[in-house]
Each structure stands twice: as structure tokens, then as C-alpha cells.
Amino acid sequence: MPTLTRLIIMLAVLAGLVYAGMIVLVTFVHPTQTEMTIRIPAEKLNPKPDKPK
């Protein structure tokens, strides 16, 4: 039983560290916003219809 208790405690500590790391990332990391322009060719916007058979 002592090894099972030690395993559970170690897993709980590890989960707590992961959770604390996520909280630190959410709190201190701020994403930068930039404007993005993507050119789309006219052929993709208005495709030519297929020829009837």
C-alpha cells in the first residue's frame, strides 16, 4: 500500500504542476495581433462552368 499511496501523491503533484504551468501561460503570455492579407485568384472565386456533354 505505501507504494500505491506514493504513486497517487506523485501523480497528483505532477497534475498540479501541469495545471500551474497552464495558469502561468494564460496569465503571462499575450498574443500579438497582426493584420493578414491573403490574395485569392479570381479563377478560384468564379470558376468557369463545365462544358455540357
Ranges of each domain in the chain: 3-44
d(CA 53, CA 45): 24
C-alpha cell belonging to residue 35: 493584420
What digits encode the pLDDT tens for the residues 16-46? 999 999 999 999 999 899 999 999 888 788 7
C-alpha cell belonging to residue 47: 470558376
pLDDT confidence tier of residue 52, bands split at 50, 70 and 90: low
Identify the CA nearest to 21 among candidates 9, 13, 33.
13
pTM score: 0.55
What is the number of residues in the chain?
Answer: 53
Give me the pLDDT at residue 51, please: 72
